[in-house]
Each structure stands twice: as C-alpha cells, then as structure tokens.
Structure 1
C-alpha cells in the first residue's frame, strides 16, 4: 500500500474548489496556480496522517490561507488592476460588478480577504472559518464586520451586493 493512496483522488475531486479559493485569495490566475501547487506539495507530505485521521480539505484550505498571508507579507503581491470601464459602456452590469468587487477585495488586508473568501465564497460557517484560520469565532465576526465595512467604503456602488446571499452570486 502506497503512503500517498487517495491523494490523487482528493486532488482530482477538490481541485476546482481549491483553485477557486486560491484565485479569490490572490486575485490572479497564475499566482493562484502557484499558491495551490506549493500548498499541495506540503499536503502530500502530511497525507498519511490526514488520510487516516484528519480533514484534508480543511487542512488544505487553511494551508492556502496561511501560505497566501505569508506571501503577502514577504512580497506585497496585491496590486489593483486598471480602473473598471465607465458605467456608460455596454459592459454587462454583472461583469462590471465582478470587476469592481474583485478590485475592492484586493484592497482588503490578507486576513479580511481570507475571512470574506471563506465565509461567503466557500460558504463556511463562522465556526468552520475560525477553525480554518486558527482563530476565535469572535475574531471571524469582527474581521467580517470590518471587511464588509471596508468593501462598502471602497465600492459604494456595490452596497446592494454586500449581503451574504448576493456576494456569493456576484463572484460566480
């Protein structure tokens, strides 16, 4: 029996969701691929233990967040892209909302962005988010409150989208 049995199946089954999380954290497809790859290298080393008595998806998600924060601290990877097109263009409103929301997300702190991504895109509960981030539920609540307030300030035109059910729909 190979010590990595089940790892390939885990990656194939959860790759899309993990890649989405990585993309939402980094805001860049190439950086997201790099982030996910570096985390999966670490996960495969822990695979025997995770497969036996752990939650590999929660561990991987937490590792994504931790690695992203570590990268951000070292390299300050976040840099907003160009301004979105004017409201007067023929651009679909949903697409424009996505652009503005992603630019606003890029301006959050890494922890605020991680909380928003895990709570609203990954649809984790406050308890699950706290577990994934290694913090208290109170910290998740306060980070969520501050992140949403900052998003409202950064992108007031999106206030109508900044409630839980609607945030998820805009990002997809």
Structure 2
C-alpha cells in the first residue's frame, strides 16, 4: 500500500483519533500533520509492518506527549479560558452545555491522563493495549486513569441521592 492509498483510506479515522486525543480539532489536525510529515519519508519501512495504522497511531501519541507539544497546548488553553464562558440554557441545551463542559475538562487534563481517558472510554481499549500503545506499564496506565478521573470528579457536580433514584 502506498502512502497516498493509506491516506485515502485512513485519513478521516486518523483525524478523529488525533482530535479526540488532543482535545481540540485544530491541535489534532496539527499533530496529525506533523506525524504524517514524519511518516511519509519512512513509509516504505512503515508499510512493511504488520499494522501500519497502529504505528501511525503510536506516532500521534508520542507527538502529543512531547514536551514541546504540551507547552503549546497549555498556552493555547490559557488563551481559550480568557474568553467568556457561554451561558447555560434549559432542557436539551443544558445537556449539550454539560457535554461541552466535560469536553473542556478532559481537554484540560495533562496529556498522558487525557490520552488514557480517551483511549479507555472513547476507543474502549483495555489497559494492557493502552500500555503497549503508550510504551509504558499497565500500572502507569491505571495511575494516569485514576488521576484523570479524580481530577474530573473533583470538579464535576456529584448527583444527589434523589437524582440517582
């Protein structure tokens, strides 16, 4: 499979993947572009692998966890948070507002925590698979998930006992 054939077949899925992991469409597109620029000259070797897409997905994770990328993401989030928050609406709009708030909270997690949360709950991956993809131990994956979930629980409103019934 040529690089162009790979892109024609897998670019939309890779774009969704990078966007989910980055927490932002623009950042996801930037990361994916950087990864594809690095992958293209080495494509003949990458194409020989058992799963070239898995390799490219790993490259996306590595790019997202690089120190340079984390600094740029933090600066971008600071600029976004300076903008005014939209007012919450009723009914259906309230659920949309809650979802958007959750997405913003996940986006604000440190890169490794965000990646683990997205891979575990959005991609429905097992901890062992995440560990292989991230190049770390299963314990590290579980620790990052625990920390990310603790951060989210600390800022999300907890339902009352009556709401749970």
After TM superposition, give the deviation of residue 48 of structure 1 in Å: 1.5
- Give 1:124 deviation, angstroms: 1.9
What is the distance in 1 between the residues matched to 2:154 and 2:29? Answer: 30
1:18-59 deviations in Å (ceiling 9; x for gaps) = 111221233332222121111111122232222112422222
- State the 1:84 CA deviation: 4.6
For the aligned residue pairs, the C-alpha RMSD in angstroms reads: 2.3
Describe the shift of the 1:128–1:101 C-alpha distance in structure 2 as closer, same or farther (beyond 3 A): same
> How many aligned residue pairs are there?
153
Post-superposition shift, 1:115?
A: 0.7
Q: Contact (CA 8 Å) 1:26, 1:78: kept in 2 or not?
A: no
Q: What secondary structure does 2:48 align onto?
A: helix
Spell out, residue by residue over 1:102-135, the C-alpha distance to the aligned partner (whole angstroms, 9 max, x if none). Answer: 1111221111001111222222221211111110
Alignment of 1:1-172 (within 5 A): 5-70=1-66, 71-75=68-72, 76-79=74-77, 80-81=80-81, 82-86=84-88, 88-89=89-90, 91-156=92-157
TM-score (norm 1): 0.76
- Contiguous gaps of at least 5 residues in structure 1: 159-172
**TM-score (normalised: structure 2):** 0.79
How far apart are 1:77 and its partner, in Å?
4.0
- Name the stretch that deviates more: 77-86 or 11-20: 77-86
**Cα pair 1:112 1:146 within 8 Å, conserved:** yes
Q: Is contact 1:113–1:147 with CA below 8 Å preserved after alignment?
A: yes
